[in-house]
A and B are shown apart, each in its own frame.
Chain A
Amino acid sequence: MATAYARIRLILAAIGLLLVVAAPVAAQQPNSVNPTASAVKEQQLLQQNYRIQGLGSIPDVKSYVIEQPMGRTWRLFHEVWLHWFGAIIILGVIAVLLVFYLMRGLIRIDGGRSGRMIPRFNSLERVTHWMTAVSFVILGVTGLNITFGKDLLLPLIGPDAFSRWSIMAKYAHNYSSFPFMLGVIILFVLWVKESIFTAVDIRWFMEGGGMFGHKHPAAWKFNGGQKVQFWGAALGTIGVAGSGLFLLFPFYFTDIYGMQIAQMVHALIAMLFVGLIFAHIYIGSLGMEGGFEGMATGEVDLNWAKQHHLLWLEQELGQGRTAAPPAGATTRPAS
C-alpha cells in the first residue's frame, strides 16, 4: 500500500513539474509565429477572386499578376462542374426526348399525305439552314471533345490518335465558327419578322402545341415552339459567338480573368444550345412525319401544312400559291 502511495506522489510531482516548465513556454506563444493563423491568412489571400498583383516596369501589364487564385476556381469549373452540368443537360434532354417518343411516338399526318405539295422554304433559306446546321454539328462535336474527350475518347483511341484528333478538332472548331455565325445572322434577317410572338402563339402554348393528344392548334409560318427555338438560337449565338471571339483572340479584349469568364460563359451556353438543338433535330426528323421535307426539298405536304401551320397555309393559298402534286406522285384529295 505504501508503495502505491509513493508511486502516486511521484506521478503528481512529475505532473506538477511539467506544468511549471510548460507555463512560461505557453506564455511565450502569442509573441511567436502562429502557423495556424498564417494558414488562415494565406487561405484568405488565395480566395481573392481576382488576382494578386505586383508592380512591373515592362509594358505588358498582364505580367504584373503574380498569382491568380481564380485559376483554381476556373479549373474546378472546367474539370468538374462543367462535366456534371453538360452531362445532366445532354443526357437529360435525350432522356426526355426518349420518354416523349415512347409515349407519343411519331406525330403522323392525321389525314395521311394528300400528295399535293406547297413551297415552304426557298433555296436561300435551305442552303443557309444547312450551312448553319452542319457548322453547328462540327462545333458541337469538337467542343464536346474539349470537355468530355479526355474522359471518353482518350481511353478508347489512345494518346497519339487523341492528340491528333484534338488538334484537328480545335482548328475545325475555330474555322467552322465563321459559317455558323454568318448563317445565324442570315437566318435571323430572313425569319425575324415571322418569329415575333403573337396571341396565336399563346393559344398554341396553352394547347400544348399539339404535342399531346390529336388536337393541333393553328399557327402561322412558325409556331410557338419554333419561335422559342429561333430566339433561343439567336440569343445562344450571341452568347457563344461573343464569348468565343474573346477566346479566339486571346488578350486582345481582356485579361486572363476575363478570358476565364468568357470560357465559362461559352461552355455553359454551348451546353444549353446543344440541348436545344437536340430537341430541334428530334422534332424535325424522328418526331414528326413530313416535317423534314420542308428543309430537304423546300416543299411540304398540304395536309401537313393544314395540321401544323393552318394560318400560314391559308395565307399562302390566299396569295395564289398553288399546291401542286409532285412529279410522278399518286394524288389523294386533301382532307
Chain B
Amino acid sequence: MRAFLLGCFAILVVGAAGYFVLDALQQPSGAAYTTDGARIDPSWSWRQTATAAQPCEPRRVWQWIFVDFRHPNGEPRICADSQ
C-alpha cells in the first residue's frame, strides 16, 4: 500500500513538473493554430465577439488542471464555458 501511495505521489510531483515544462514550451492553442505572420490577434475567439464590451480574463493553466471554472466579478458567464 505504501508503494502504491508513493507511486501516486510521484505522479503528482512529475505531473507538476510536466505542467511547468508545458507551460514554458507550449503555445496557447489560439496562437499555436493561428497562421504566423498573418495580422490576426492570436487571442481572438468567438467569445470576444459575443462579449466585446466585457472581455474575458484568460484562464491560467492551473485553473484547467483543477477544473476551476470560476469567473471574476462582472465577467460574463460565457467566459467560463470554454476557452
CB within 8 Å of B: which residues of A? 58-60, 62-63, 123, 126-135, 138, 163-164, 167-168, 171, 174-179, 182, 248-251, 295-296, 298
Flag if A127 contacts B67 (CB, 8 Å): no
CA distance A175 to B23 in the complex (A): 11
Across chains A and B, which 8 residue pairs bring their CB atoms closest together, nearest first?
A130-B7, A178-B18, A60-B36, A126-B3, A58-B37, A179-B14, A131-B7, A175-B15
Closest-CB distance, B21 to chain A (whole angstroms): 7
A138 / chain B contacts, CB cutoff of 8 Å: 11
Main secondary structure, interface of B, reads helix
List 27 A-B residue pairs with CB atoms under 8 Å apart, sorted by A's residue number: A58-B35, A60-B35, A60-B37, A63-B36, A63-B38, A123-B3, A126-B3, A126-B7, A127-B3, A127-B10, A128-B7, A131-B10, A134-B7, A135-B11, A138-B11, A167-B64, A171-B65, A174-B22, A175-B15, A175-B16, A175-B18, A176-B11, A178-B21, A179-B10, A179-B14, A179-B18, A296-B4
Please name the residue on chain A nearest to B29 by beta carbon: A250
Main secondary structure, interface of A, reads helix
- Let me know if B33 is at the binding interface, CB within 8 A: yes
CB within 8 Å of A: which residues of B? 1, 3-4, 6-8, 10-11, 14-19, 21-22, 25-26, 32-33, 35-38, 64-65, 67, 69, 82
CA distance A192 to B27 in the complex (A): 37
Please name the residue on chain B nearest to A61 by beta carbon: B36
CA distance A296 to B3 in the complex (A): 7
Flag if B15 contacts A249 (CB, 8 Å): no
Flag if B37 contacts A134 (CB, 8 Å): no
